Amino acid sequence: MAQTIYEQIGGEEGIRRLTRRFYTLMDELPVAAACRAVHGPSLAGAEQKLFDYLTGWLGGPPLYTDKHGHPMLRARHMPFTIGEEEIEGWLTCFAYAWAEVAADLPARDLVMRKVVELAHHMRNKDVEAPQKVTSLL
C-alpha cells in the first residue's frame, strides 16, 4: 500500500517541523508582516490549528475535524482581511518551510500547487481587483 504524504514526511514529527518552521518564518520575514499582523501576539494557537489541519489534509488522523468540525476554511478566515499582500506573505513562509521539510518528497510540487490554490481561495480583500500581470513587452 502506498504511503500517504503525511507518512512520507515523517508523520506527526514532520508536520510539527513544518508548522514550527512556518510560524518562525512568519515572525522573521519582512514579506510576511501583513500576514503576521492578522494574528494575535502569540502564534501558538494558530500553529496548533495548522498542525491539526495539515495532519488530516496530508493523510494522517483527522485531528482538525475531530476538534473543530468541518474546516470551512474560507468562512473561518472571513473575519480577517486577506488580500494579495497577506497571501504573498503566507505563501512565502509556507514555501520555505515546505521546501525544507519535503525536499525529497515525490509529491512536493503537487502539494505546493494545491496550497497556492487554497491560499488564493482565502482572499476576501479586493476580490474584484485584477490579478497582477507581468508584461512581456
Quick check: helix, strand or coil at residue 87? helix
Residue 102: Cβ-neighbour burial (10 angstroms; 0-12, 13-18, 19+) = buried
Q: At what angle do helices 44-57 and 11-28 cross, to 10 degrees?
A: 140
Q: Does residue 59 contact residue 4 with C-beta atoms inside 8 Å? A: yes
120 is in an annotated binding site: yes
109: enclosing H helix or E strand: helix 108-121
Grid look-up 495532519 returns 55
Which residues line the annotated binding site for heme?
A: 120
Which residues line the annotated binding site?
A: 120
